[in-house]
Amino acid sequence: MGFDLGDRQITVPVLLAPLAGITDLPFRTLVSRFGAGLVVSEMIASGEFLTARPGTREKAELGAQIENTSVQIAGREAGPMAEAARRVADMGARVIDINMGCPAKKVTGGWSGSALMRAPDHALRLIEAVVEAVDLPVTLKTRLGWDVDCLNAPDLARRAEGAGVRMIVIHGRTRCQFYKGAANWAAINEVKSAVQVPVIANGDVVDASAAKDALRLSGADGVMIGRGAQGAPWRLAQVAHALYGAPKPDVPRGRALIDMVCGHYEAMLDFYGATLGNRVARKHLGWYMDAANTPPTLRKRLLTERDTRAVLSLLPEALSAEAEVA
């Protein structure tokens, strides 16, 4: 069922995907509290990371040293990638992940992320540089290919394994699909057949049913969940329980849900500061209110409120529909 990743044993292979602007330290901490095999940080651009001022939030509160955290780095040059990996390792990281799957234009336009699937020889040089730079397990996250005419994930995975990569995560779409259409879990099976290291299936794994199908079709060793955890930080634990018999999470309802959401909100205020934290938290509060069927007028009021104390006072009412159901 599980597998080793360096000095860490992934006993329950249900992982949290890195989502820009979403899987920050407060959210990863909350997901980990319910249970997760591994949580992956938001992508770090290696060049920007190296030039950031000492003591900035990104460096000081990355959470690299937290036991079940993998730190994801991205870039297009071997030198900065290697140096970023070394610095993250010095910060206490246990696992380093290389991003070669991000489809965003601002990333691929700079020949980072999934754009590297169009230059596999260069991609391999980056992988080799990172692996050689640190004495830590290095993993790779990528996609099926750039487009339907460039489905080279099996070959890239094979070469990455040869360079020393210890785990490979495949999102079951091409870069040109972005997040449209359905993830092709069956296509991940070609990657699984090409390598001996663990392969993790990603894309559209939103609940236990989808996770079972993803594993059956891909033959993968585990699953990675991204959007399925939005507004449901307990989702990974639910999937782990259904697939692997891990402890069943105590999903908060009623007052417990209100307390959890308020705690998440306050953690974001502490992390980002009141003004930025209030803005960044809105997406999370929106997802919580989606599940609670919050009335539109109240929802709009809460998501446009700038006074953090007022937000906290509105949350019990905004989540009361869910509370009544519970």
Q: What is the pLDDT of residues 193-203, one digit of tens each?
A: 999 999 999 99
Catalytic-role residue among 102, 150, 176, 262: 102
Q: What is the pLDDT of residues 166-204, one digit of tens each?
A: 999 999 999 988 889 899 999 999 999 999 999 999 999
Q: Is 227 annotated as a binding-site member? A: yes
Q: What is the mean pLDDT of residues 286-298?
A: 94
The distance of Cα 157 from the centroid of its chain, to the nearest Å, equals 20
Its pTM stands at: 0.93
38 by Cβ neighbours in 10 Å (0-12 / 13-18 / 19+) ranks as: buried
280, pLDDT greater than 70: yes
pLDDT-derived band at 318 (thresholds 50, 70, 90) equals very high
pLDDT-derived band at 54 (thresholds 50, 70, 90) equals low
Are residues 63 and 25 in contact, defined by beta-carbon separation less than 8 angstroms? yes
Residue 61: phi, psi to the nearest 5? -125, 35
Predicted pLDDT at 53: 62
Q: Fold for domain 3-244?
A: TIM Barrel (3.20.20)
Distances, alpha carbon 106 to alpha carbons 42, 96, 103, 112, 144, in Å:
15, 22, 9, 9, 20
Q: Is 47 annotated as a binding-site member? A: no
pLDDT over 90, % of the chain: 76
Are residues 96 and 82 in contact, defined by beta-carbon separation less than 8 angstroms? no
Q: Is 102 a catalytic residue?
A: yes
Predicted pLDDT at 114: 87
Q: Is 238 annotated as a binding-site member? A: no
Q: What is the pLDDT of residues 90-102, one digit of tens each?
A: 988 899 999 998 8
Q: What is the mean pLDDT of residues 28-38?
A: 95
- What does the mean pLDDT of the chain come to? 91
Q: Is 171 annotated as a binding-site member? A: yes
Owner of token pair 């509290």: 33
Q: What is the pLDDT of residues 140-158, one digit of tens each?
A: 999 999 888 889 999 999 9
Angle 185-194/208-218 helices, nearest 10 degrees?
50
64, pLDDT greater than 80: no
- Write the DSSP assignment of 279-316 as a string of letters: HHHHHHHHHHHHHHT--HHHHHHHHH---HHHHHHHHH
pLDDT-derived band at 103 (thresholds 50, 70, 90) equals confident
Residue 306, Cβ neighbours under 10 Å: how many?
Answer: 10
80, pLDDT greater than 60: yes
What ranges do the domains of the chain cover?
3-244, 254-325
